[in-house]
Structure 1
Amino acid sequence: MTGPILVGVDGSGRSLRALVWAAQEAALRRCPLRIVHVVPPAHTYATTEEGRAREESRHDRGIVAEATAIALDAHPDLELTSAVPSGAPAPVLLAEAEDAHTVVLGAKGRGGFGSLLLGSVALQVVGHADPPVVIVNHVPIGHRRVVVGVDGSEYSDAALAYAFQQASLRGAQLQALHAWSNPLPQAGVSTVQDAMAKEHQQALEDWLAPLREEYPGVEVVAEVPDEPPVNALARASDRADLLVVGSRGRGGFRGLTLGSVSHHLLQFSLCPLAVVRPRPRTTPV
């Protein structure tokens, strides 16, 4: 059985946007939706004020009840479970993620300080969860396009497979971007630059070929812009329903949980961002 789409909710507008996206994803994949509202340790009910404890308990259950009603109103046939565990939010969500197909979280709104826009809990989950993690800042309407960053790494391969699947599920165009930067001086090197661009284009076509064959119904646009990957992908996200990247790329260092491109796009993507890592290999018994 396919694992559930796991969504974290806290009653905020951003978490409700994540809920809407997660419910649609569960409906598209015909898999369960699991709604989790984590009660931080400082908010537990071990208090001498029994009345306050009951009020807090009702409040937390109300958050889940509202989320459940919203999801079922949009998708009445959805199989749905929920939980209100207590603990540090990131470890609780990571434990829940072990059995999930995808984890969905809301992003904070713009208007803060750089990396603080995402929030520490979401950043920890993105950096350590095994399944794909989708960060939703808003729910776009009608672009019918999935954008994926490609660089030939194993992380990119995982992102590319996920992006093809998403485009197929949604009947969307897939825009595959392999961004590169010309290391040569700009003057008098147009012939060399053109040759390099052709090499990158051929590499991209080679990476796409197996999945084009697996998903013949997906329209693919392959592009090799000569600019930094963050710039190209952030701009493309303005016209996309979903942006997909690997958790690390060829520039990553062993031991880091998140690459610089994926980390920056968590702040600058203009559509929901899926961060994908290769599934852990299982060792035969």
Structure 2
Amino acid sequence: MSAPIVVGIDGSVHAWRALDWAADQAIRRRLPLRLVHGAQFLMHGGRIPEDVLVHLIAEREDLLAEARQYALKIHPELRIDTSLAPGDPGHALVAESEQAALVAVGSRGVGGFEGLLFGSVGLYVSAHARCPVLVVSRSAPFPAEAPGEIVLGLEGRVGEDRLLQWAFAEAESRGARILALHAVGGDFPSPRTRVVEDMELSAALAGVRGEHPDVPVDQMISDRTAARALVEASEHAALVVVGARHRHAPSGIALGRVNHAVLHHAACPVVVVPPRD
């Protein structure tokens, strides 16, 4: 079976908007959709009275069923399954990421059953998932109304091939253009420096541009900080796509200060693409 698009469902408005984007991804990529709700009470080892447990399970299953019907109403052809997972929502979604093509979460979710708070679940999933993570804010437009540009943030380091491939495949599926952005965080010491930076960016893009010749590409070398440049560019983008680094510690992937700022302040959904293993 194909790797699914997974989306965290918690009852908040933010999660419903994440579902809109996850369903759109599933349709365009011809993949199944999997709706997951993490529930701590399933791990309580019998400490919850049976009648209360039955009620809680039914309540959460109804939530997943409602989300499934919502997605099918918009996209009747979707293949959708649901999962009520024991444990913390963040851990549940990271576990799902082992076999997923993409995990989608809502950001800054307040309320709902467990409250899919961006500062906890969203950051945890973005930092630990094994597949790309799509973080969608409540203010994000519906996918069909999103601008026709994808902002791709590049550091110019080795190991960004998965990031490049994901962004270009996404642009191709949307009929969108790529804005490849590299920020240097300060004034250029000379005009030659800007030219060299632009040539290096062109070289980094050369291979993937050859694989996706129909995707229009604009390049931008910015003297702003990376966070500010990406957040400003997000005002006119469907997505901002950024990479994360391996961290040789139990905490897994390093999001870094730039990604934290972009996740908190971008005007559009953000995709965090982990490096290849």
TM norm structure 1 = 0.86
Q: Any idea what SS the aligned residue of 1:77 has?
A: coil
Could you list the per-position Cα deviations for residues 212-231 of structure 1 after superposition, in whole angstroms to 9, with x for gaps in the alignment? 11101101111101110000
Match of 1:181 among 154, 160, 185: 185
* Pairs within 5 Å for 1:1-285: 1-41=1-41, 46=46, 49-108=49-108, 118-138=118-138, 139-140=140-141, 141-182=145-186, 192-248=189-245, 255=249, 257-280=254-277
User: By how many angstroms is 1:48 displaced?
Assistant: 5.9
CA-atom RMSD in angstroms: 2.3
Judged with a 3 Å threshold, the aligned counterparts in structure 2 of structure 1 residues 163 and 68 are, in CA distance, closer, same or farther, namely same
Distance 1:164 1:78, change over 3 A: same
5+ residue gaps, structure 2, are 111-115
Other-structure match for 1:189: none
SS in 2 for 1:178: strand
Deviations 1:175-227 (A, max 9, x none): 1101113367xxxxxxx421111111111111111111110110111110111
Deviation at 1:43, TM superposition (A): 8.4
Flag the 1:254–1:39 CA change in 2: closer, same or farther, 3 A. closer
Structure 1 gaps, min length 5? 111-115, 185-191, 281-285
Contact 1:36–1:85 (8 Å) recurs in 2? yes
Secondary structure of 2:262's partner?
helix
SS at match of 2:147: coil
> Are residues 152 and 136 of structure 1, via their aligned partners in 2, closer, same or farther at CA, if it must alter by over 3 Å?
same
The 8 Å contact of residues 102 and 134 in structure 2, kept in 1 or not, is answered as: yes
Q: CA deviation at 1:45?
A: 9.1
Please say if residues 187 and 223 of structure 2, whose CA atoms lie closer than 8 Å, have aligned partners that are also in contact: no
Give CA deviations for 1:10-57 in whole Å, capped at 9, x if unaligned. Answer: 111011111110000000000110100111238869466544333322
Number of residue-to-residue matches in the alignment: 265
- Cα distance between partner residues in 1 of 2:12 and 2:228: 30
TM-score (norm 2): 0.88
Q: 1:81 Cα deviation (Å)? A: 1.1
CA spacing shift, 1:44–1:23, aligned 2, 3 Å: farther
Give % identity.
37
As a proportion of its length, which structure holds more strand? 2
Distance across 2 between alignment mates of 1:59 and 1:45: 19
Equivalent-residue separation in structure 1 for 2:53 and 2:248 (angstroms)? 46
Q: Find the residue that maps to 1:19 and give its secondary structure.
A: helix
The CA distance in 2 between the partners of 1:154 and 1:26, in whole Å, is 30
